[in-house]
Each structure stands twice: as C-alpha cells, then as structure tokens.
C-alpha cells in the first residue's frame, strides 16, 4: 500500500515504503554550506539567505503517469521500484526517502529586460542532492509541489498541461544532444488546479500534476543577481565559491574534493579562478543556444532567472519548435508584442543575460577586462558552434564564410516560401547533388516541407538556383556521398516535439488516455533515426493547429 497522506498538510512523511528506496545517498551540500532562512513556514516573504525550508504539500491521490527509464536507472531505481505505489507518493511529495531534506532556493532576475527583484523557487522544491553510482551529483526537484516562501500570491501548484510539456521536452532535448535538465517522473495529483490558460480573464480548473526534474545543479544567473542588487557581497561571494567547488570542481585541479572551508582558508578562490569559471559559463551557454538554433527550438521566456549556470536548458514553459521557418516567431503570448524572445534573437538575448551576470559578479573582480574576456569567449564559442552546425546541416566537412552566406541565403528563402525547417533539412539529405547540373524542378524529397503550394511554385526557381550552389559546394568536399548523408543525419532531427504533438498528448491524457505520453516519449528518444510506422510524428504542422491554443502560441500559465 502507498504511504498515507500525512495529517500535517505542510509536511510529508519522512518514511517511504521499502520497495521504493534505491539506496540513494544524499549529500545536501547547498543546505550545509550556504546560509538559510531561520523561518520554516511557507509564508511568502523577503528572504535574506540562499534558501528556505519548503516541505511539499501532500496531494490526495498521487498516480504515476510516465517516467524516464534512463533517468530512473541512473538514479538506481529498478523497474519494480518505479511501478511500486510508494514511488508516486515520494515524487508527488507525500513521502520522503531517507536523506531527503526539502528546500527552496532564493534568486532574482531580469524579466523581459526589467529587474524583477526577489523571485525564488515559487513552486519548485528540491528534495535533496543525490550521489549516484558514478559519484556524480543529481539534484531532485519537484515542480508543482506546493507553497514555498517564494510563492508570492500563487498556489505553488502546476497543471497536467504544463507538467507534461516539461516532462516530454526535458527528455526530447536530451536525446537531441542539447544540454538540458532531465525529467524523472510525471505524477498526477488527483486534484484540480485553477489556471487562466490564455490570461484572458477565464480561469478554469485543470488536472494537477507534478514533474520531478533532475540536474547536477539548478543554480541560475538570478542566484547571483539578487545578492548583487541588495549589496550583499558576502552572500554573493559565498554563492560563487560554492558553485565553483560543487559544480565546477575541475577548475580546482588537484584541489578538487578538498572541503570548501579549507579552500577558503587557503585563499583558493582568487580572481583568476573566478574568471575561468565565468568564461566557462559563457562557453557552455553559447553551445546550448547554438544547439537550440540548430534544431529550431524556441525557449520562449529567456529571463535571467531561467538561465542555468551550467549551460542547461531549464524551465520549459511557453516553448515551441519552428514549423515554417520564421526568425521573428515567439511561442509566448506574453511576448507577442515586443517579441524579445523570438527565435532569431536567442543568441543576442543569451549574451545580454550573460552581461547581467557579469554585472552581478563584478564585486568579485578588480579587473573588468576579465569579465569582458568571458563575454568574448561566448561570442567565439557561439560562432564556432554555429559554423559546426551549418556544416552538419548542409553536409559539409567544414563551414567557411561562403558557406555561412549560403545558409543565410537559404534562411531567407525558407521564410519567404513558408517552408518547414525540420522537414526541409531532412529532405535535403535525400537530394542527390550533381555539381554543375541545373535543377529543373523542386526535388520530390523537399516538396513535403512547403506549407503553401502557390509559394512553392513561385519560389521554385530561387530554390533551384540555391540547390545548384549547394551541389557545387558539396562537390568540393572529397568525401563519399554516404558520409555526407550520415553527417546531415546527425545534425538534422526527423522528430521534434512540435507543439501540436504535445497538445494532442495533453488532450488524450486529460480525457483519461495516457498512452499518448509513452508513445510520444518513445519517438522522441530516437529523433535522428528513421522510425517505420511512426511517420505521423514527422509531418508538417496540420492546418487546424496553426492558430489553435496550445498548438501555436502559449502563455506562461501553469
């Protein structure tokens, strides 16, 4: 039997059934090494510390809807343990494994370009920091588990709609090879949560759900911005030193593994170390954003509090995938006017966010040139990753200036002709280049990528001219055709989590048919492979989904 709901509505049981515990060892360093708030109640308040206690609020009927077998295995859970009733109880917040010590962290952030003050984990509660079999650290965090000190006027809960989207996209991004937080489980709570889906004054009850997300660290840019804004240099320094010690131990060289207090006493955290750390944050961020651009992912709400210090994609809210190529598209209804977070601006916004982080870290530096060097590293790393992506997508051995221009010209055509980005590049791999020979018609392999037949016909000559240039360029690479196709196959996914696919799974699950979650997850586990029988998941967006809520633009509502 699953553990019963504790009588204290603000604290989950500290005991889990034996069939659940995988023998995880918890080392909750964030609590141990950083100052916490003395108050333990979930009352919304200003917190002048790094964290505050936050026990998950129990739910009436936890039920496992889906889980990631890879993440469960990494954490040491067997298939039988995952299926045990107690697993859902633990990852709904109704019970705890030994060593779990829940808390919420404190951070601020710039939202849509404006300083927002204290934000914090308003509906995310970290259960603890688990040490897995290889010695690596994995923070287990419930999203939608109830009130914390940072919930402000909200309820700390999440709905099935948003939780399912986060669960699926976390795993989809991992299998695409893009740095991301992971998702262990998706649990239905058995209670409704009221949300205003479109922010149009029509709130309605929706099924509640909780996702357990997993990452080595959930520290964000905003963790450093808040103490900087408050003039709390001591806390800022503590956070930076802790982050380097726990999350970037390789920067310590032979001193990795030395207790944090000892390193501080030895004066290990000098300006050079801080500079190396910031530069690596910049480089990781560049590689992540270049990955988004390669596959057509739009985060949708790139506030500084949604930027991971590890360069992981974090906080899957109103995200979306480019269907017809449009660099000005944003999936976020809140961003519909300014389009600050549109697809084509993501590299610029990430740089702007890094500038805010540099500003927050400036009290730790006497030489601002060291921070500028980190920002320069972002630019160089992004340019390199972008060139590598262009070479892969076009099937080239390397990308020079002319190849970058070739890709820019293609982007102009894709936008003008309303062409599906994913399908076009998949089809391009099946086009046989014949250097010097003209293309008399649009190749059959590309025809399925066009949304408007009239635009396809009108732009066919321009595409033919572009294809001739591409054919000539591929002919300059002395490589077998099979090697070209293989490289393109590794860079161009066939299966991405289009919004309409996620919405179909949401609607099925809301109606009681949860099989769609597993079906879609299984497809997304092999995004670069041909999957016979699953062609329906690799088609362009249907006409009915173009302007439908949840299938095109979404709000931040959760």
Q: Catalytic amino acids? A: 305
Q: Rounded to an integer, what is the distance from CA 39 to the centroid of its chain?
A: 32
Enclosing H/E stretch for 461: helix 453-475
Residue 229 to residue 117: CA distance in whole angstroms: 8
3-state percent breakdown (helix, strand, coil) of the chain, nearest 5: 45, 15, 40
User: Which residues does 310 contact at the CB level (< 8 Å), separation at least 6?
Assistant: 179, 215, 216, 217, 219, 247, 284
Taking each helix axis from N to C end, the angle separating 221-229 and 233-247, rounded to the nearest 10 degrees, works out to: 160
If one counts every other C-beta atom within 10 angstroms of the C-beta of residue 175, the result is 18
CA-based nearest residue to 194, from 183, 184, 208, 182: 208
What DSSP line would sit under 24-58, residue for residue?
-EE--HHHHHS-B-S--S-------SSEEE-PPPP
Q: What is the 3-state secondary structure (H, E, C) of 382-425?
A: HHHHHHHHHHHHHCCCCCCHHHHHHHHHHHHHHHHCCEEHHHHH
Q: Are 155 and 59 in contact (CB under 8 A)?
A: no
Residue 485 to residue 329: CA distance in whole angstroms: 29
User: Which residues does 520 contact at the CB level (< 8 Å), separation at least 6?
Assistant: 168, 497, 501, 502, 505, 537
């Amino acid at each position: 039997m699953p553990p019963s709901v504790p009588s204290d509505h603000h604290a989950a049981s500290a005991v889990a059934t034996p069939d659940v515990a995988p023998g995880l060892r918890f080392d909750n360093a964030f609590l141990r090494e950083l100052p916490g708030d003395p108050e333990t109640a979930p009352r919304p308040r200003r917190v002048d510390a790094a964290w505050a206690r936050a026990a998950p609020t129990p739910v009436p009927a936890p039920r496992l809807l889906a889980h990631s077998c890879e993440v469960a295995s990494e954490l040491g859970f067997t298939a039988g343990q995952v299926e045990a009733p107690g697993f859902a109880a633990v990852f709904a917040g109704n019970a705890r494994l030994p060593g779990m010590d829940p808390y919420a962290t404190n951070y601020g952030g710039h939202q849509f370009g404006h300083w927002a003050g204290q934000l914090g984990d308003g509906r995310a509660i970290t259960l603890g920091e688990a040490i897995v079999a290889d010695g690596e650290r994995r923070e287990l965090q419930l999203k939608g588990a109830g009130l914390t000190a940072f919930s402000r006027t909200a309820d700390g809960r999440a709905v099935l709609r948003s939780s399912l989207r986060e669960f699926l996209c976390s795993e989809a991004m991992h299998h695409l090879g893009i740095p991301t937080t992971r998702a262990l489980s998706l649990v239905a709570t058995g209670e409704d949560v009221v949300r205003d889906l479109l922010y149009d004054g029509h709130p309605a009850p929706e099924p509640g759900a909780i996702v357990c997300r997993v990452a080595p660290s959930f520290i964000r840019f905003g963790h450093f911005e808040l103490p900087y804004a408050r003039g709390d240099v001591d806390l800022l320094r503590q956070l930076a030193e802790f982050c380097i010690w726990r999350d970037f131990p390789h920067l310590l060289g032979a001193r990795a593994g030395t207790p944090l207090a000892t390193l501080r006493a030895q004066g290990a955290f000098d300006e050079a170390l801080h500079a190396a750390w910031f530069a690596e944050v910049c480089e990781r961020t560049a590689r992540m954003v270049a990955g988004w651009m390669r596959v057509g992912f739009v985060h949708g709400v790139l506030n500084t509090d949604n930027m991971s210090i590890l360069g992981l994609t974090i906080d899957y809210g109103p995200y979306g995938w480019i269907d017809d190529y449009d660099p000005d598209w944003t999936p976020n209804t809140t961003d519909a006017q300014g389009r600050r977070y549109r697809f084509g601006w993501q590299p610029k916004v990430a740089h702007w966010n890094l500038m805010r982080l540099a500003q927050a870290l400036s009290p730790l530096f006497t030489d601002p040139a060291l921070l500028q060097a980190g920002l320069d590293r972002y630019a160089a790393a992004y340019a390199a990753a972008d060139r590598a992506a262009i070479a892969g997508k076009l099937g080239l051995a390397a990308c020079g200036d002319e190849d970058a221009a070739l890709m820019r010209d293609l982007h102009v055509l894709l936008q003008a002709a309303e062409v599906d980005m994913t399908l076009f590049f998949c089809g391009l791999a099946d086009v046989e280049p014949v250097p010097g020979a003209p293309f008399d018609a649009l190749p059959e392999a590309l025809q399925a990528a066009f949304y408007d037949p009239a635009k396809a016909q009108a732009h066919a000559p321009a595409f033919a001219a572009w294809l001739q240039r591409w054919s000539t360029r591929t002919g300059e690479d002395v490589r077998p055709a099979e090697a070209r196709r293989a490289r393109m196959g590794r860079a161009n996914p066939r299966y991405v989590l289009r919004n309409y696919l996620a919405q179909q799974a949401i609607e099925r699950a809301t109606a009681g048919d949860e099989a769609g979650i597993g079906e879609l997850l299984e497809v997304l586990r092999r995004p670069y492979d041909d999957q016979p029988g699953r062609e329906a998941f690799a088609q362009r967006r249907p006409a009915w989904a173009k302007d439908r809520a949840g299938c095109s633009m979404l709000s931040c509502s959760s």
